[in-house]
A = this chain, B = another copy of it.
Amino acid sequence: MSTPTPELFFRSINAFHLTQALKGAIELDIFTAVAEGATTAKALAEKRQASERGMRILCDYLTITGFLTKANGAYSLTPDSAMFLDRRLPSYVGGSVEFLLSPMLTQSFDDVAAVVRKGGTVVSEDGTMSHDNPVWVKFARAMQPLAFGLAQTLTGPIKLDPNKKTKVLDIAASHGLYGLMFAQQYPNLEVVAVDWANVLEVGKENAAKFGVSERWRALPGSIFDVDLGDGYDLVLLPNFLHHFDPPTIEKLLRKIHAALGEGGRVVTVEFVPNETRTEPPQSVTFALVMLASTANGDAYTFAEYEKMFANTGFSRSEIVQLPVSFEQVIVSYK
């Protein structure tokens, strides 16, 4: 065993440096500038009207944290940075900073000790779950590029009959991409999208962009209150159940069960930790985000979800690991 050191503690307590430096790099749009050929601190400083000394120190830091490489005083993009941090590309994810570092989410973490004492958010009574919270408009716009890849892969394992008229309910639809990917693939498919009215404006724009506006309908309001109708073949539940406690989830699942037609399925997209809650790290971290930002949310295990679906009338649930995602998919059958 090696001698104990306080290295991990100091690196971790100072981790906010990394958040803030990366936010600064995104704001200065350094990665696009490097992609465009400004590869030295001097060239970057000129291109971005910044100090050479500041650019050199920040880019050296971005080098040791894995976002750039450095050779002979010139910086280059890593494959990840070239794909995801060049603002000119559709795969650019830097816009997610608007949501991930929105005051709502950063303030949630201001007093983690108080959050742990209380067992839920201390920002407000409902945290991010308050009615028409504008953070979800930010989410819809900022997280689209990331959701796009995930939504596309979802149509792989979830097969539908292309010849049959199909009705899909997209819950907490947000940018609408999950339902829209199915609408794009299946010409006889109609989507009903539920979310706050302000958020559904983003989904409506995307429906037009994908040319499926006539088969995409907005149903604004709280999923717990609106009349869903019935006869759905597929209900999409992407990134929604984690905001609530099991009794609230079961209340919702009963309502969904009633709205599903015979042979219908629910597709839940979630951060699902393993049964001991020790991996994957993204899911374990996500539980902390829910603790800090909601009254009762959590990252539930598959066994917990399986039980909630069974309690509310579903015949069986199965877990599907998507090829490239931190999230898991649970398919539950009526």
- A interface vs B, CB < 8 Å? 1, 3-10, 12-25, 27-28, 48-58, 60-61, 63-67, 70, 73, 79-80, 82-85, 93, 96-97, 100-101, 106, 109-113, 115-120, 146, 273, 276-279, 281, 284-285, 287-291, 298, 324, 326
Task: Please tell me which one of the listed residues B21, B28, B112, B278 contacts residue A60 in the complex, with CB atoms under 8 A apart.
Answer: B278
Count of this chain's copies in the oligomeric assembly? 2
- A71→B51 CA distance, assembly (Å): 51
Jot down 12 A-B pairs with beta carbons below 8 A, ordered by A: A12-B18, A14-B285, A16-B109, A17-B285, A20-B112, A28-B117, A53-B119, A53-B291, A54-B291, A57-B290, A57-B298, A60-B288
Q: Cβ of A93 and Cβ of B58 under 8 Å apart?
A: no
Q: Cβ of A4 and Cβ of B291 under 8 Å apart?
A: no
CB distance from A312 to the nearest CB of B (A): 22
Q: Cβ of A9 and Cβ of B85 under 8 Å apart?
A: yes
CB distance from A217 to the nearest CB of B (A): 32
Contacts of A55 in B (CB 8 A): 116
Task: Please tell me which one of the listed residues B24, B66, B285 contacts residue A111 in the complex, with CB atoms under 8 A apart.
Answer: B24
Q: Cβ of A49 and Cβ of B17 under 8 Å apart?
A: no
- Asked, given contacts A19-B16, A82-B4, whether A116 binds B60 with beta carbons under 8 Å apart, the answer is no
Q: Cβ of B24 and Cβ of A116 under 8 Å apart?
A: yes
- A287→B96 CA distance, assembly (Å): 27
Contacts of A1 in B (CB 8 A): 79
CB distance from A17 to the nearest CB of B (A): 6
- Asked, given contacts A8-B66, A21-B112, whether A60 binds B13 with beta carbons under 8 Å apart, the answer is no
